[in-house]
Chains A and B, each alone.
Chain A
Amino acid sequence: MMLVRAFVSHYRRHPFQLAALALMIVLATMLWAGVTVLTDQARSSLFQSEAAVAARVHVVHSDGQPVDVDDFADLRMAGVCVAPWLEVQRPPPEGRVVGIDPLAMNCFGESAPGGGAGTLDGTPFLDISEAAHLSREGHESRLYLLAADKNLALPQGYVSREFSLGPPTGELADSFLLNLDALSLLVLLITGLLVRSVHRLGIAQRGGSFDLLYRFGVPRRRVRQLLALELVALAGVCVLPGLWLGAQLAGVLGSGFGQALDSLFDVTLYAGSADSLPWQAAGVMVLLVLAVCLVDWVVPQHWQGVAGSRRGRLVAALILSSGLVGVALAPNLAWVFAGTALVFAGAGWLTPGLLALLAQRLSDHASLDENDLLTRWRRRELAVMFRHLALPVVALQYAMATVLAVQALVTTFESTFEDWLAQRLEAEFYVEVPQGADAGLAADRLRKLEGIGAWHQVSRGEARISVEASGSEGDTVAVDLFALNPIGDLVVGWALMASVNQPWQALEQGGVMINEQLARRRQLEVEDTLEITLAETVTSAKVVGIYSDYGRPAGEILMSGATLPRNFSARFESFSINPGALTMAEISEHLAETWNTHDLTVRDNASIRALASQVFGQTFLLTRAISLLTLVLAAVALLIMGWVFFTTRAWYFRLLGIWGLPAIVVRGQLRRLSVTLTLAITLAALPLGIWLTWALVSRINPLAFGWSLPMDLYPLFWLELGLVALVTGLVIALLMRRQLVHRASEKQVER
């Protein structure tokens, strides 16, 4: 008992250290718990949204007649799980609404659109009785009978067809979640470093007492046991409020976003998260605290000395370069992640030493006259600080690099996704060609319509390709075929990743474009020649362009519809139409007349686009929030550490005052020192952040999904980060200044 008392007496004398360590654990737990909850929410919101817009099946009459409520009742009574989906097209601004029957959707169980009845709540969804009412008021409407499963046993006279509620976002979402997971790991790493840094501070000061205990005959093993016990107790106590705070944090963020985004799926996305604490996060946190604080027992003593030495730096440089090379050449994701870990380890190891070295060099170069002597002193002080504050410096560097990368990634995701959507949903409306109708007749009709805007006919089907140049006989693969006719204004604006000169003309003249996935998988480049098998007709075509295609993994080729063989039968045909001077109703009328039907599916793409964008909007916000929180925590940690460290240096700032330097000048020196510290870390974070951005968009994505994202940098955000660093530095100086004032009073006598 006496031993325990002697053991913890340190904290009685230095309650601030105990408070700092506790605060660090609380904050770290809060952040990790918050991140866990937010990530889970992001994940489930994406899944929900995806489920809601995922491709489904709908049931139609095999003779092409439209289905009605009696068909619904008949199918249900035949034991088929179908649910009505009544789309009503109203003129803008109301646009499209969808009537659903939540009761009927009950039979889908988990596979219902949106995951269950009640989720599809709010615009554009409403109860089908209200939608039916609108329809009876004369608005154009169309009833679909949705089914969950393609392999339905249907009564005679019915067949199932694919039905898409929106563009496929599956892979983009997966990629996003993967990056989110990587981000969470980084957060864990950063918080670990922070906890360790504060703990080390205490241990360094307690070294003397431990030695004394050893001399008194207490075995070192016993001291370690007590130390571990102390940590477990402290972590146990601090993790709980941390968890609670984390859940609150997530709740506040979640509900804030939920309110801010009056979106389709906002009802249940963030609700209920604050009720249950993320307990698994608590376990992870306690383990992390133990691991980072007690790692010294595992790492041999002489290794730790090596860390700061020249040989240590050499090892770090080796680790860093092997990580860089590893990521650049990695054959699969696991290697990329391993390489990234090496890069971070190497960079973190090197940074404080290099910064210190740099400060030292700069100090040596300060000339010996006039004010430069003070500058020299300041730079030397800076070098000392970089060494002593190595861990929080590295943590802040990591945090900043992460924030940089996430910001770049998220912005890139957003713009890329927008662009891609704009490409895919190129026209204001699209009209499905009904089963059995002749698309050619309609095309002729549209061609003759005066005042119509840009339009083209879309045909989708299957093709097989083989690469002529590869020489490997018989190596053909199935790809999706995407044909457009005419090649016009709706597509020529597409951003191509690579292309020949005047690619769209080349496409019109028989060239073929391929999506990025196909290009990467088959190592195809522009100018390569493909052998394309379409409806048993084999043709050769040159690759004239490569386009990005984020939705799915399938390879796809894009051709001009005019070059399709006559006997080619499309799986799906539609028209993308900008009405131009006409109204869509007029155009629909012409088409209906051509096809002699009133059963036309006209879709308003703006609402589909809005739906898909909202899916990502929320997640992007969450991600930004997570990375910013990490940054704040790292900054707070540096603040604490800086403050503690400065306390040990306070005397020397006072000495400057004793030497006759006016107080204002001393404070100025202090400010310059702390701001230089934080800005230097920001600068050190830049290359790591840029590299991380590159690794995320150019290595992780292609390996995981077969397509890359463009690499964009956002220097304006760097400035913002610099501002954060500036503020942190100024706050450190401010805190310190209070300490100088305080200590410069009567107590100084004792010196």
Chain B
Amino acid sequence: MRVHVGFIVFCLALTVAGCTDSSEEIGFAGLAQQVGEVDESGFLQPQPGDTLVFPDDWGPHPQHRIEWWYLTANLQTRDGTPLGLQWTQFRQALQPRDVESDPPDADAWPLEAAWMAHAAVSFDGEHRFQEKLARGDVGHAGATAQPFSVWLDDWRLQPMPGSDDWRLQVNGDGWGYDLRLSNTGDVVAHGNEGFSAKSASGEGSMYFSLVDLQIEGTVTLGDRTLEVSGKGWFDREWSSQFLKAGQQGWDWFALHLEDGHKLMVFRLREDDGAFLSGSWINANGEVQSLGGDDLNLKPASWYESKRGRVPVEWRLTIPEQEVDLIIAAPPGEYWNTGLYPYWESPVSVTGSHDGVGYMELTGYSD
């Protein structure tokens, strides 16, 4: 589950800087239209019954307003020290485009879509983060389904030549990584065949994941180069509108448990409660969708961070599965301080099951 108000804020900034779009079109609180309806600006809204189409859905969805490609990884260095790592690339459309239409001329420096990439490495209590921006259709940022490739400047996810694996390269200021990603499982479709509801009234997004990624490669921090390996979690998600008015932020978890189960849970915080959803995936890749009645997710302890009070420890119970977990971030500050700051940290899992995973918290920054 990844919704980025930040991206929307960033696009608002674009309008200030002379972009053609008007801010009303991209406000995140205006989710008033009927599900499935094409809104006034022509963007398509996912609805129950929509299904995933491969390989097209690996590539961009120009009729939708927002989407992302997102990787989190719980890795270890050779000496066993844990290392967390994140890469995300967003596309925010300022105007919709038919799938059949040709993209605009690069010469025109079009501003139909803007791209943003985030990369972070959390290691040894330190969190490094960097953000990149670009306009679409000019060439230096984009995504294709076949061959599958996502790039912004010299950050790119692309096929490893002569293999089914992927290669992810990121060069930050004084740090970076170069990873090989091998997928050993099937695509996990969340919610209803890939339609993942985001509120009780039925709005939602299309959402699928790869949860069995084996990763190895190098992470460079300053003049140190670390060989790393471990597990990854890859998300694809697109929609045109996410947050309803009254939704303040979200808490998202993707966990690898030691017994082979995987778990994705998110909670959208609303004025009068929360909208909870998730997926319970067994070692064979069978998915059970979880609703608000199946789940119990509560902060267990809070941390006074530099940017605000953050719930860094959580209690998650799924009674039917006899799951009772404590999910905790390691000590440190894990703010991704881009245009819109949010908390993104690796987590460890204890309780009924042990494990590792990632946690994303938005809406807690002062």
Q: Do chains A and B touch in the complex (CB under 8 A)?
A: yes
1/0 contact string of A444-458 vs chain B (CB within 8 Å): 000000000000000
Of A74, A84, A86, A129, which one neighbours B111 at CB under 8 angstroms? A129
A72 and B131 CA atoms in complex are apart in Å by 19
- Option from B17, B106, B107 in Cβ contact (under 8 Å) with A102: B17
| B108 interfacial contact with A, CB 8 Å | yes
Asked if residues B153 and A127 are in contact (CB atoms below 8 Å), the reply is no
Is B139 within 8 A of A69, CB to CB? yes
Give the nearest-CB partner of B11 in chain A. Answer: A103
Decide: B109 and A129 in contact? CB cutoff 8 A.
yes
Q: Is the CB of A121 within 8 A of B16?
A: yes
Interface residue ranges of B103-118 to A (CB < 8 Å) = 106-111, 114
Number of A-B contacts (CB under 8 A): 85
Q: A83-105 interface mask toward B, CB cutoff 8 Å, 1 = contact, 0 = none?
A: 01010000000000001011110
Residues of chain A within 8 A of B17, CB atoms compared:
102, 117-118, 121, 127
Query: Closest chain B residue to A102 by CB distance?
Result: B17
* A101 proximity list for chain B (CB < 8 A): 109, 135
Closest residue of chain A to B17 (Cβ to Cβ) is: A102
Contact, CB under 8 Å: B19 / A106? no
For the complex, give the distance between the alpha carbons of A86 and B107 in Å. Answer: 11
Q: In the complex, what distance in Å separates the CA atom of A69 from the CA atom of B108? A: 9
CB-CB contacts below 8 Å: A200-233 with B: none
Shortest CB–CB separation between residue B78 and chain A, in angstroms?
28
What CA separation (Å) do A86 and B108 show in the bound complex? 11
Within the assembled complex, what's the spacing in Å between the Cα atoms of A68 and B154?
Answer: 19
Instruction: Indicate if B171 sits at the interface (CB-CB under 8 A).
Output: yes
Residues in B whose Cβ lies below 8 Å from that of A70:
106, 139
Beyond A79-B154, A103-B134, A106-B133, whether A73 also contacts B140 by CB under 8 A is yes
Complex Cα distance A511/B20, Å?
56
Contacts of B110 in A (CB 8 A): 129
* B140→A132 contact, CB < 8 A: no
The reply to whether B114 and A103 contact each other, CB–CB distance below 8 Å, is: yes
A76, B156: Cα distance in complex, Å:
12
Q: Would you call B38 an interface residue if the criterion is a C-beta within 8 Å of the partner chain's C-beta atoms?
A: no
**Please, which residues of chain A bring their CB within 8 A of the CB of B135?**
101, 103-104
Closest A residue to B106 by beta carbon equals: A69
- Contact A103 B133, beta carbon cutoff 8 Å: yes
Contact of B14 among A79, A99, A103, A136 (CB under 8 A): A103
Report if A535 contacts B (CB, 8 A).
no
What is the distance, in angstroms, from A662's C-beta to the closest C-beta of chain B?
70
Q: How many A residues, CB 8 Å from partner?
A: 32
Contacts of A68 in B (CB 8 A): 107
Can you list, as one digit per residue, whether each of B139-170 has a CB less than 8 Å from chain A (1) or not (0)?
11000000000010110000000000000000
Cα-based distance from A143 to B110 in the complex (angstroms): 15
Asked whether B222 is an interface residue with its Cβ less than 8 Å from the other chain, the reply is no
Contacts A117-B17, A121-B18 given: A76-B109 contact, CB under 8 Å? no
Check A132–B108 contact: CB distance below 8 A.
yes
With A84-B109, A132-B109 known as contacts, the answer to whether A77 contacts B140 (CB < 8 A) is: yes
Given contacts A73-B106, A73-B139, A76-B140, contact A127 B154 (CB under 8 A): no
Residues of A within 8 A of B153 (CB): 76-77, 79, 107
- Cα distance, A106 to B115, chains bound together (Å): 12
Within 8 A of A (CB), among B5-23: 13-14, 16-20
A106 touches B132 (CB 8 A): yes
Name which residue of chain B comes closest to A119, CB basis: B17
Interface centre among A70, A78, A127 (most CB of B within 10 A): A127
Are B107's CB and A127's CB within 8 A?
A: no
Task: State in angstroms the CA–CA spacing of A103 and B117 once bound together.
Answer: 12
B59 to chain A, nearest CB (A): 18
Q: Are B108 and A102 in contact (CB under 8 A)?
A: no
> Complex formed: what's the CA distance from A126 to B17 in Å?
8
A127–B18 touching, CB < 8 Å = yes
B140 contacts across to A, CB distance below 8 A:
72-73, 76-77
Residue of B nearest to A75 (CB): B140
Q: Are A77 and B18 in contact (CB under 8 A)?
A: no
| A52 vs chain B, min Cβ distance (A) | 14
CA distance A84 to B140 in the complex (A): 12
Whole-angstrom distance between the Cβ of A461 and the nearest chain B Cβ: 36
8 Å CB contact of A69 from B14, B18, B111, B138: B138
Are B133 and A118 touching (Cβ within 8 A)?
no
CA distance A106 to B151 in the complex (A): 17
How far apart are the CA atoms of A128 and B110 in the complex, in Å? Answer: 8
Asked if B171 and A107 sit within 8 Å, CB to CB, the answer is no
Q: Given the complex of chains A and B, what is the CA–CA distance between A107 and B115 in angstroms?
A: 13
Query: In the complex, what residues of B have CB within 8 A of residue A73's CB?
Result: 106, 138-140
Q: B328-357: which have CB < 8 Å to A?
A: none
Min CB distance B139 to A, Å, is 3
- Inter-subunit contact B14/A102 (CB<8 Å): yes
**Separation of A125 and B19 alpha carbons in the complex (Å):** 12
- Determine the distance from Cα of A117 to Cα of B114 in the docked complex, in whole angstroms: 14
- Closest-CB distance, B177 to chain A (whole angstroms): 14
B168-210 vs A: 1/0 string, CB under 8 Å? 0001000000000000000000000000000000000000000
Do A79 and B171 touch (CB < 8 A)?
A: yes
Chain B residues with CB below 8 A from A150, complex form = none
Q: Is the CB of A69 within 8 A of B109?
A: yes
Shortest beta-carbon distance, A231 to chain B, in Å? 38
In the assembled complex, how far is the CB of residue B117 from the closest CB belonging to chain A, in whole angstroms? Answer: 11
Residue of A nearest to B112 (CB): A129
The answer to whether the Cβ of A133 comes within 8 Å of any Cβ in the partner chain is yes
For A118, what are the chain B residues with a Cβ–Cβ distance below 8 Å?
Answer: 13, 16-17
A130 sits at the interface (CB 8 A): yes
Instruction: Report Cα–Cα, A222/B260, bound state, in Å.
Output: 80
Cα–Cα distance between A450 and B94 once the two chains are bound (Å):
52
Contact of A133 among B13, B108, B151 (CB under 8 A): B108
Q: Given A77-B154, A103-B14, A118-B13, does the pair A127, B19 have CB atoms closer than 8 Å?
A: yes
Residues A129 and B20 in contact, CB atoms below 8 Å apart: yes
Contacts of A132 in B (CB 8 A): 107-109
With both chains docked as a complex, state the minimum distance between the C-beta of B364 and any C-beta of chain A, in angstroms. Answer: 23
Chain A nearest CB, measured from B283 CB (Å) = 40
Determine the distance from Cα of A518 to Cα of B132 in the docked complex, in whole angstroms: 46
Closest-CB distance, B40 to chain A (whole angstroms): 22
Chain A residues at the B interface, C-beta cutoff of 8 Å: 68-70, 72-74, 76-79, 84, 86, 99, 101-104, 106-107, 117-118, 121, 125-133, 136
In the assembled complex, 21 residue pairs joining A and B whose CB atoms fall closer than 8 Å, in A order, are A69-B106, A69-B107, A69-B139, A72-B139, A72-B140, A76-B140, A102-B14, A103-B114, A103-B134, A104-B134, A104-B135, A106-B131, A107-B132, A121-B17, A125-B18, A127-B17, A129-B19, A129-B109, A129-B111, A131-B109, A132-B107
The 5 closest A-B pairs by CB, nearest first: A73-B139, A127-B18, A102-B17, A76-B140, A79-B154
Further pairs besides A129-B20, A136-B107: 17, Cβ < 8 Å: A69-B106, A69-B109, A69-B139, A74-B139, A76-B140, A77-B140, A79-B154, A102-B13, A103-B134, A104-B135, A107-B153, A118-B13, A127-B18, A127-B19, A129-B109, A130-B18, A132-B109
